[in-house]
Each structure stands twice: as C-alpha cells, then as structure tokens.
Amino acid sequence: MIKKVAILANGGDVSGFNAVIRAIKRTAETHGIECYGYIDGYRGLVENNYIRLDGNPLANGILPKGGSIIGSSTNAIVFHYKVEHEDGTVTYEDLSDKCVQNVKEAGFDCVFTLGGDSTQKSARDLFLKGINTIGVPKTIDNDVACTDITFGYNTAVHVATEALDRLHTTAETHHRIMVLEVMGRFAGWIALESAISGGADVALIPEIPYDIEKAAEAIEKRKKRGKPFSVVVVSEGAHPINKEQTTHSAEGIDNEAGISVKFGGEGNRVAKKLQELTGLESRCTILGYMQRGGTPTAYDRVLSTKYGAKAMELALEGKFGVLTVIQNGKLRICSIRRSNRKQ
C-alpha cells in the first residue's frame, strides 16, 4: 500500500517541471496519498529538506508556470557529494546511505525523480540500495535513452523557432548571415528541429562534424539566386571535422564533482569564418537560458501531465526501478538499471 510519496526535481530547469509535479500530486490526492517535494533536488534529499505539497497553496495554479516550485540542483551528486568543512577544506563523499536513511525515516514509499541522464543514473543506484524510485525523463536536449521525447524539449524548440523568425527579417533587411547558437550539448535535436521549423538555410549539429567550406558554398549559391542573406543554426556542441567542441570554464563549475565543462562559443566561430569565406557581414546570437525558462507550450503541458499521472499510477501498481517513457506515441515503462544517452 502506497501512503506517502515524494518528488525530486533535479538538473537544469525546464518548462514542464511544475506540470509533472502537479500531475503526480493530483493523482496522489485522488487516491488519498500524501505527496511531498524535496527542496532543490538531490541536495534536499541529502539535507532531508522537504515540504508537503497536497493541500499546499504553493502547489496551486502551477500548470503554466516555468521552473520548479520545489527548486532543483545542477551539481548535487549524492554518490560524490561536495562537503565543505568548518576548517575550510572540501571533500567529496558518498552520502547515498544517508539519503536512503532519510527516505526511510520520512516514511516515503516512493521517490519520483524528475531529470535527465545523470539524475536517473543516481535514481537507479538508489533503487539498487533499496529505495523505491520512478523516473520521469526531463531535458531540453531530448537525449534520454528509451523515450521518443522528454518534457521541456518542445518548449525549447518553440523558443528557438521564434528567435529564428525574428532573425530572418533582420538577415533579409541588412543582407547578413545571422547565426543562432542553441543548447543541446552532445545532441542536435534542438538545432535540427528549430532549423526545420524556422526555415534556416544551414544547420550544424554535434552528430555530424561539419565542413565550413560546404556551409559557405550553400550560402554562395543563395547569393547567386538573388538571396544575399542566410540564417544558420549552430548547436553548442557542433564542431568542425577533426576539431573539438568549443568549451569554456565558467564560474561555479565543479570539475571534482564530475560536472562537464560548459559548451558555448561555436556560433561565434562559425559566424566569423562564414564572413571571411562569403564576404557577407555575419552576426551571432546565443539564445542561452531563454530556451529553459518561461511558460511551457501546450504540447509540453500535456506531455508532462501524462508523464506525472503515469508515474503515480506505476507507484500504485508497485512498479519501481523504472522510467516512464513515450514510445511510438504510447506511454510505456523501461528499467532504469541501465542508462545510455539517446543517439
């Protein structure tokens, strides 16, 4: 019998977090189950910091709201957790046993983990330690294995498409090459689909190392057809043939915790090179965090609601150690004992 559950939102924020939380909470309420939320993702799990959501005004009217009402953490890995001591020293410790103890003492029959690849790997390992977990795939990158789509992705593509529509008019007016750099890390989904929906002339994605000469040729062909402007979409993880991605160190990055470097800057590199090769003035816009925030699209609201309701139904059925997924348009489940990045 499920009597008490908790939700944990982890990783970078996306539009749809709150819609999933709402769906889990409302399905729980329908069955008389208490629903709680850990504050700031896995950090809340380590610190045993949680609040009750059912009957809480904080959880009302959150369907169209971006972000997460219970926060999220991007650098809390419970199996390699950063601990700052009073003497100023820092160590990295496995606090997973403490997390297991916190969950059991709180009496939670299931913890729902809303997050991407890293989040679900930790959920898998906590499940193997005896905690009932059910994962919900989240990331704007759309690179979680086993599912056709993650919540948050559609909104990111929508934002990128709107940006391309606006850049298109500027490109045409001033006879320029307008480059839009979008997020995605190792996955080119946002770049590819926004390029299609936004009518871009060139799309550069991580999965296919690019030849800048070929991109320039495509733009030159447009010039000869009387179109002295072009719109180019560049995924932040794209890179030329035989060269690495453009990365940088940013404040707050914790390499000891196993957090990768930040991507960014490839758009500027592409814009500069295309200007040299074509003679057309080029400008780069880096969309950045605009893709993560704000109101979710109708699609993401529906998808998130489906995911949340399904996750709670799985808990009622006693099916744990699984990830809710969409396959061929249908809600299904897969084991989270193995996790691989979607290709």
The answer to whether residues 244 and 126 belong to one domain is no
Domain count, the chain: 2
Say if residue 144 is in the same domain as residue 271: no
Specify if 340 maps to a domain: no
Name the pairing type of β-strands 110-115 and 4-9: parallel
Phi/psi for 275 (5° steps) reads -65, -40
Return the CATH number at 12. Answer: 3.40.50.450
Structure tokens at 332: 């299904």
- Residue 258 is part of a domain; what is its CATH number? 3.40.50.460
Catalytic residue among 13, 141, 143, 201: 141
162 within domain boundaries = yes
The arrangement of strands across the sheet holding 133-137 comes to: 50-52, 34-38, 4-9, 110-115, 133-137, 322-327, 330-335
pTM, two decimal places: 0.90
Say if residue 202 is in the same domain as residue 285.
Answer: yes
222 assigned to some structural domain: yes
- Whether residue 42 lies inside any domain: the answer is yes
Per-residue pLDDT of the chain in tens (343 residues, 90 and over written 9)? 899 999 999 999 999 999 999 999 999 999 999 999 999 999 999 999 999 999 999 999 999 999 999 999 988 899 999 999 989 899 999 999 999 999 999 999 999 999 998 899 999 999 999 999 999 999 999 999 899 999 999 999 999 999 999 999 999 999 999 999 999 988 999 999 999 999 999 999 999 999 999 999 999 999 999 999 999 999 999 999 987 766 655 544 454 555 556 777 899 999 999 999 999 999 999 999 999 989 999 999 999 999 999 999 999 999 999 999 999 999 999 886 644 444 4
Going from the C-alpha of 20 to that of each of 5, 61, 272, 327, the distances in angstroms are 14, 13, 42, 18
Q: How far apart are the C-alpha atoms of 334 and 278, rounded to whole Å?
A: 49
304: Cβ–Cβ under 8 A, 6 or more apart, which residues? 16, 17, 19, 20, 23, 151, 296
Same-domain check for residues 124 and 171: no
Domain hosting residue 216, numbered range: 155-291
Same domain, 170 and 261: yes
Does the active-site annotation cover 141?
yes
In a domain, 207, yes or no: yes
Q: Report if residue 236 sits inside a domain.
A: yes
Residue 341 lies in a domain: no
